[in-house]
A and B are shown apart, each in its own frame.
Chain A
């Protein structure tokens, strides 16, 4: 164990840092894009009925293929990884944002309108707050997936915890494989906890029961 850290310690720390960076950046970008799209789609449900199935097909394209294609166009730069991860992370958040807003019970929308809220005020004061439990559960799903998808970054030589795993696989070094896999799993748990914390912070208690 100690020998492992002596041998790979620096590499591991770097890999964790890079991995973390990929996840945070790509999920943040995805979150902004997905929220915007989700809100826009919720204003035009007719469009949503076309867009959401199309996007869900995208989701079924394997990550390796996608990173490979982007690699051809963008080259071996972190942008390739971040773009690929962000595109994958968009869908769960987008779908949950859209569904969350659409499913806000009509009496609240009517009350908001009747109180004299503009569309914009109704959206930000009532609809999004009420959709937040659903949106955050989409965010958690995206983040946890992204932690595991980021392993693929190593495939085009761009580091992250995947690097240790690939190195371990090719040299038949199980310590190295675990050294990559365990931190990745822990990172997923950590993000999940962080998002739970965020949820507690943002959502008043009586609304928390709805979505697990």
Chain B
């Protein structure tokens, strides 16, 4: 548990931390977020005494850390920095074991730690232990950076924008990994970021800071539902406003990769196409490209052998809407009927696409939690 009591810090005339009070519970993933200069990094660094506050007290597990030897304190708290900071003169194994070695663990225990740690992130010991950081990709380097912080099993880990320098793909993978590790090892993590997406994905609790103070401290859901300040709303962008800026018309969330056929085609051809595309209905077009209806595999099964063409089987009963119709109306049409999708037509009655229940759910999820992760 980490507790800040009336913590203030200033550099010259500028107040960096202004009377901070908050508590971070054990096993909680807390994200500090805010615009640059809001004091989030200063807050983080005062937990391992890289920065000393001018006033106020910080308690870790009920101990006033200003009374704890700062070197001992730092060894008991994991620390991951943005620039990764793996020591280039040490191998992966040596980097992982930096803190255990400082704490004078016996050598065989260090070996075991290196193996266990690499195992946690699925990097085989034999392949990686003796490589130097410069021989690894950015993502691998930051994995090792995280492992170095975890190696001496500290209950608390501080992370200062750890994924800021990584490409979006790698970042997403590492976010998952760190979240998984945190749950598995039950660590208390304090994580600084300026990326609201990251905060919403990672956090149990978000502390939103501005000008050295806390604007809001809440779970991601609460913050999305009731942002306490305009600044928070602007950080969350369209996610906070929910449906207001969500897709407005059918065009915004329809799928365009639809399977069509012409009304004069044979049944065999239609069945064959359904089989190849793994679908059970096809959209049927008239010869002038306008929408004629749908044909389903069920209706084909029931049919007499004499019929060769699909034309008699085409039904125009499926729900449909025009492409510029309101999204909400489309959803209602789709939800009120039994059809599994809604056909979207252009104003000239040609086929534009379909809206499935899945794509509807996905667009709603995007509106609530941000773009699909």
**A204 in the interface (beta carbon within 8 A):** yes
Tell me which residues from 43 to 81 in chain B have a Cβ below 8 Å from any Cβ of chain A.
Answer: 48, 50, 71-76, 79, 81
Indicate if the CB atoms of B89 and A126 lie closer than 8 Å: yes
Indicate if the CB atoms of B132 and A115 lie closer than 8 Å: no
Indicate if the CB atoms of A130 and B99 lie closer than 8 Å: no
User: Which single residue of chain A is at the shortest CB-CB distance from B79?
Assistant: A114
Given the interface pairs A204-B132, A206-B132, the reply to whether A114 lies near B50 with Cβ below 8 Å is yes
Contacts of A189 in B (CB 8 A): none
User: Which single residue of chain A is at the shortest CB-CB distance from B75?
Assistant: A116
A121 to B134, CA, bound (A): 23
Given the interface pairs A110-B50, A204-B132, A206-B134, the reply to whether A115 lies near B88 with Cβ below 8 Å is no
**A123 in the interface (beta carbon within 8 A):** no
Indicate if the CB atoms of B99 and A107 lie closer than 8 Å: no
Contacts of A203 in B (CB 8 A): 89
User: Which single residue of chain A is at the shortest CB-CB distance from B84?
Assistant: A107
Kindly provide the distance from the CB of B322 to the nearest chain A CB, expressed in whole angstroms: 57
Indicate if the CB atoms of B81 and A111 lie closer than 8 Å: yes
Given the interface pairs A129-B89, A206-B135, A207-B88, the reply to whether A110 lies near B102 with Cβ below 8 Å is no
Size of B's binding interface in residues, CB under 8 A: 27
A115 to B98, CA, bound (A): 8
Given the interface pairs A114-B48, A114-B81, A116-B102, the reply to whether A204 lies near B71 with Cβ below 8 Å is no
User: Which single residue of chain B is at the shortest CB-CB distance from A106?
Assistant: B83
**Of B73, B75, B87, B89, which contacts A111 at CB under 8 A?**
B87
**B40 in the interface (beta carbon within 8 A):** no
Kindly provide the distance from the CB of A120 to the nearest chain B CB, expressed in whole angstroms: 11
Kindly provide the distance from the CB of A62 to the nearest chain B CB, expressed in whole angstroms: 39
**A205 in the interface (beta carbon within 8 A):** yes
* Residue among A114, A117, A121, A132 having the largest count of chain B Cβ atoms under 10 Å: A114
**Of B72, B74, B134, which contacts A113 at CB under 8 A?**
B74
**A118 in the interface (beta carbon within 8 A):** yes
Indicate if the CB atoms of A207 and B74 lie closer than 8 Å: no
Given the interface pairs A107-B83, A115-B98, A116-B102, the reply to whether A205 lies near B72 with Cβ below 8 Å is no
Indicate if the CB atoms of B102 and A130 lie closer than 8 Å: no
**Which residues on B are within 8 Å of A, measured CB to CB?**
48, 50, 71-76, 79, 81, 83-89, 91, 98-99, 102, 132-135, 148, 158
Beyond contacts A111-B87, A207-B132: 4 other A-B pairs, Cβ-Cβ < 8 A, are A110-B50, A113-B74, A116-B99, A206-B134
A-B contact pairs, 7 of them (CB 8 A): A114-B74, A118-B71, A129-B89, A204-B91, A205-B132, A206-B135, A207-B89
